[in-house]
Structure 1
Amino acid sequence: MDFNLPNEHRMIRDTVRDFCDEEIEPIAQEIEDEHRFPQEVFDELAKLDLMGVPVPEEYGGAGGDYLMYALVAEELGRVSGSIGLSYVAHTSLATMPIVKFGTEAQKERWAKPLASGEYLGSWALTEPGSGSDASDMDTTAEKDGDEWVINGTKQFITNANVAGSVLVKAVTEPGAGYGGISTFIVDPEEDDGFEVTTVWDKMGLNASPTCEIQFDDVRVPEDRLLGEEGEGWEQTKKTLNGGRISIAALSTGLAQGAFEAARHYSKEREQFGQPISKFDAIRNKIVDMDRKIERARLLTHKSATMYDDGEDVTRISSLAKLDASEVSREVAEDAVQVHGGYGYTEDFSPQRFYRDAKLMEIGEGTSEIQHLVIGRELGL
């Protein structure tokens, strides 16, 4: 796991790993059972200066790079998919677009509190009817004097009910297609007409809130427009490149956690007078888990490094997200199988990793969409 990692990155990873083992792993199943967002964990991550890892120091962040951020996301996913999901949504979707596309005033007002961990952020793209065709949106923002008036509904929005700011995609020029979409910064506390109408109960990841939100004549001043009018879709595509790396890292972490549980159990559990790890069927499963995880990790690290170098990562980030998300589900499923009947109980972690892993193949673009993106990049 240390392949080619700079010392600083290794130190950060080890710090996060210790924190995860001591503070998160003991409550991981409890918060999932209670469907409770663990604000106290994020407060501690803020104290460790981890809530804005790739954000420049002048905007409240740690001044790290995307590889360092991916290492943090992986370690969080290794013990709690829920905490990892809320963390990556906060960082890559809610904070980095402000850093990349915002004015100096917006960075000062909105990026700083996000990166310092004063509160979490959220990003609202998907709508009830849009699904994989995220550009097909009904949410609108109309200019009225020196304000924008936002109306519509967003669906499956991570962190919306615990966020201090939400980046909202809305149509500002109907009929203009991709060029008619813009991005706005909404303050859930101060902006009247913003309402979280549903917090979904899910197959997994229930300590990370997934919400439906309604905008009913939400008025925001002109300075809440992120970038220029009509730039929202280009911003989205660039944001999703980083988002796919986030999910790849989180998926790798989920797989690593499931693998560690299975390896440990296989060495402790005895059948027919010997540890089950001595049987070919079990040993081969665990070896294959290790192989898959290393492949996913290498793709993820390559994507993050290319991103840091300013290269186009559309293809490689899609490859990493596609591979790592499928690996996380496959490894978690095999971890359940290694545990046998115990793997189906909540006393052991593989069932949680298995349920959490499934979303990795859906969120930030389904596996089917990743095939589409990669095919286009290959000229197919």
Structure 2
Amino acid sequence: MSALPLPTLAMPPADTVQRARESFSDFIEAYRDKLSHLFGTRHDLDSGGTERGVAPFVIQRFRDVDPLSVYVPEQYGGRGGTIGHSLTVLEETSYHSLPLSLIVGINGGLFLQPVAKYATEEAKQHVLPSYVRDRKFAGLMITEPDYGSEALSMETGWRETDRGTIRIEGTKHWAGLTGWADYWLLTARPRTSSGGLRRDVDFFIADANQPGQHVEVEELYPNLGLKMIPYGRNRVDVEVPQAARLEPHSTGVKMMLDTLHRSRLQIPGMGMGYLRRIFDDALDHARERFVGGKPLLDYDQVRARLARLQSFVTGTAAMCMETAGTAGVDRDLFGDGLKANAFKTVVTDWMQEAAQSFLQLMGAQGYREDHRAGRALVDSRPYQIFEGSNDILYQQVTEAVVKAMRRLKEADLGAYLREEPLTARAAATFGDSLSFDVDWSMPQRKLVDLGRAISRIVTMEMTIELGERGFSSELVSNMLEETRAEVRSILETYRGRGLTGVVEGAGAPEWLARVRPAG
């Protein structure tokens, strides 16, 4: 199976090194201007999202400013690898194109950051300078056809060969940039002498341009959205040198959690630009569209939708601020699951809700593949699925809180949340709404409900901190009010919803036989 052709890129201009030394503010201004020109004049943004792949000039102009270099440490030719700078690049990119921002995130959060942190020095010297110099692409392969959420049960295995190399065999799918990536970060479990698989996970760098390291594309998937990015099923049968194996600080599982948590904490960077753009476009439409002799903006329901969209922008800004200050590659984040899962789930729920609301405001004209509203609907939806299904992550949020409560022998949710640093000030604004005992053995649906509430309280806490650092008090107040109302609604569901189940063998409802004529 041949992959979508990756646009051929010209060699980097001679001033690449000089650009790497310019100030970040100059760099991001140049990048912003390049994107504005590219998507505002040269590229037909609306129709471009309906076709698979990327026009060559889009990739060429995108790489002209070398945005992925923000993920690479300076000693390897990059701009330093600062998380705040990476988030800013994600934001600027997603304001114009969510799929292009995801390409940045795949390369940066799922390859360059773990390589910069865990790779051997030999591997870093081989990969990172050439990545910047030759404008390469890279990705991560974890998911398998039978093991998505159950990543630790993956069947891809590795073993040492008689030649002192490492042989990796298995099947991976739904890896972004299938067929395009020059480098893959492959995950596999060590094989035992009897052919079984151990429980730990290892990461390996495969260089597709080296003999024996090419990953074969067996099938390309017709993904519903994010059409700029190729996905598919891949047959892994590669042989890599020992130096290609990443070196965990303790276990491979902790290395994977550190990588995934850092990536989840950076998803608000993609959400930031995307949500800003939806709010800006929705506000412009509400001002310009007249119904009943007055602009949409004069209707209360429209103003309510816009206020909620704006609250999403404020809350996402708070998450970006927190991530930029606490999620650097110098920190081990394997234990930061509560915050990482809360950030990922809430911002991706907001992204999908924003798309639904924007489409509702646009009406029929938005229900098109070549309109931003229609495209946002399908492009944002997989964010609630990849890097951990939101239902599962919400369950894990509750389980983490319940585990801590049991350790402290504290049954009252409100009492615990008012002492937990990630929720303390936000929880205090709920009065007695959170004052109830948690059922240690609650069913899964309740775990998910409670996780949705707790995750939003976490984002409220970050927004309170944003306000204390000088952000608009009015915007902070609006976000807190919107989210507090949503949390209370979720808690009503949590406490009041019965445990209904599927009625087996019910068949089709025979409603016609039960009609009673009126009159």
**TM-score (normalised: structure 2):** 0.67
2:385 counterpart SS class = coil
The share of aligned pairs that are identical, in percent, is 23
Q: Report matched runs for 1:1-380 at 5 Å.
A: 13-25=28-40, 26-116=43-133, 118-145=135-162, 146-174=164-192, 177-179=198-200, 181-192=201-212, 194-216=215-237, 218-227=238-247, 231-308=251-328, 310=331, 312=333, 313-380=336-403
Tell me the distance in 1 between the aligned counterparts of 2:253 and 2:272.
28
Amino acid of the structure 1 residue aligned with 2:380: A
* Residues matched between the structures, number: 371
Partners of 2:377 and 2:30 lie apart in 1 by 26
User: Contact 1:252 / 1:328 at 8 angstroms: preserved in 2?
Assistant: no
Code of the aligned partner of 1:17: R
Residue type at the aligned position of 2:38? E
Structure 2: which 5+ runs fail to align? Answer: 1-22, 404-519
Amino acid at match of 1:21: S
CA spacing shift, 1:311–1:378, aligned 2, 3 Å: farther
Q: d(CA) in 2 for partners of 1:39 and 1:103? A: 34
The answer to whether the Cα contact below 8 Å between 2:258 and 2:332 also exists between their aligned partners in 1 is: no
Report the Cα distance in structure 2 between the residues aligned to 1:332 and 1:47, rounded to whole angstroms: 31
Letter in 1 for 2:181: A
Give distance in 2, aligned partners of 1:362 and 1:266.
31
Residues 1:35 and 1:347: Cα distance change in structure 2 (over 3 Å): closer
**Deviations 1:302-351, CA, capped at 9 Å, x for gaps:** 12311138374432222211111011100111000001111112453111
Change (3 A) 1:230 1:187: farther
Q: Deviations over 1:239-282 (max 9, x none)?
A: 11221023222123222222222111111111111211111111
AA aligned opposite 2:53: R
SS in 2 for 1:226: coil
Q: What SS does the corresponding residue of 1:245 show, helix, strand or coil?
A: helix
Q: Do the aligned partners of residues 101 and 168 (structure 1) sit closer, same or farther apart at CA in structure 2, a change above 3 Å counting?
A: same
1:164 maps to amino acid: D
Amino acid in structure 2 at the alignment position of 1:212: R
CA distance in 1, matches of 2:24, 2:395: 33
- In structure 2, how many angstroms separate the alpha carbons of the residues matched to 1:318 and 1:222? 33
- The structure, 1 or 2, with the larger RCO (C-alpha pairs under 8 Å, 6+ apart) is 1
Match of 2:285, SS state, is: helix
How many angstroms apart in 2 are the aligned matches of 1:170 and 1:40? 36
SS in 2 for 1:138: coil
Q: Out of 300-309 and 82-91, give the one that drifted further.
A: 300-309
The residue type equivalent to 2:255 in the other structure is Q
> Are 1:247 and 1:364, in contact at CA under 8 Å, matched by a contact in 2?
no
CA distance in 2 between counterparts of 1:81 and 1:117 reads 24
Give secondary structure in 2 for the equivalent of 1:214. Answer: strand
Contact 1:126 1:154 survives alignment (8 Å): yes
Aligned 8 A contact 2:49 2:369 in 1: no
Which is worse superposed, 346-355 or 326-335? 346-355
Q: Counterpart amino acid of 1:196?
A: V
* Residues 75-96 of structure 1, C-alpha deviations (whole Å, 9 max, x = no match): 2112211111111001111111
Code of the residue aligned with 1:201 in structure 2: it is: P
Moved more, 38-47 or 360-369: 38-47
Rounded to whole Å, the distance in 1 between the matches of 2:323 and 2:249 is: 30
Cα distance in 2 for partners of 1:126, 1:229 equals 23
Could you tell me whether the CA contact under 8 Å between 2:32 and 2:92 is conserved in 1? yes
Q: Distance in 2 between matches of 1:70 and 1:116?
A: 22
What secondary structure sits across from 2:224 in the alignment?
coil
Distance 2:265 2:29 in 1: 20
C-alpha distance after superposition, 1:1-46 (max 9, x if no partner)? xxxxxxx666555443332222135343333222013454344343
The alpha-carbon distance between structure 1 residues 230 and 220, as it changes in their structure 2 partners (threshold 3 A), is farther
User: Deviation string for 1:343-374 (max 9, x for gaps)?
Assistant: 11245311111111111111111112322342
What is residue 4 of structure 1 aligned with on the other side? none
- Structure 1 176/149 Cα, relative in aligned 2: closer, same or farther at 3 Å? closer
SS of equivalent residue, structure 2 residue 217: strand
- Decide whether the 8 Å contact of 1:78 with 1:253 is kept in 2: yes
Instruction: Spell out, residue by residue over 1:140-197, the C-alpha distance to the aligned partner (whole angstroms, 9 max, x if none).
Output: 1121121111111001001131111101001114566442x21111122334362011
- Residues 228/289 of structure 1: CA separation in 2 closer, same or farther (3 Å cut): closer
Q: Structure 1: which 5+ residue stretches go unaligned? A: 1-7
Deviation, structure 1 residue 116? 4.6
Distance 1:10 1:334, change over 3 A: farther
Residues 299 and 316 of structure 1 are in contact (CA less than 8 Å); yes or no, is this contact kept in structure 2? no
What's the C-alpha RMSD, in Å, of the aligned pairs?
A: 2.3
Contact 1:267 1:276 in 2 (8 A): yes
TM-score with structure 1 setting the length: 0.90
Which AA in structure 1 matches 2:33? D
Counterparts of 2:30 and 2:295, CA distance in 1: 33
Residues 372 and 16 of structure 1: CA distance in aligned 2, closer, same or farther (over 3 Å): farther
Deviation at 1:49, TM superposition (A): 3.3
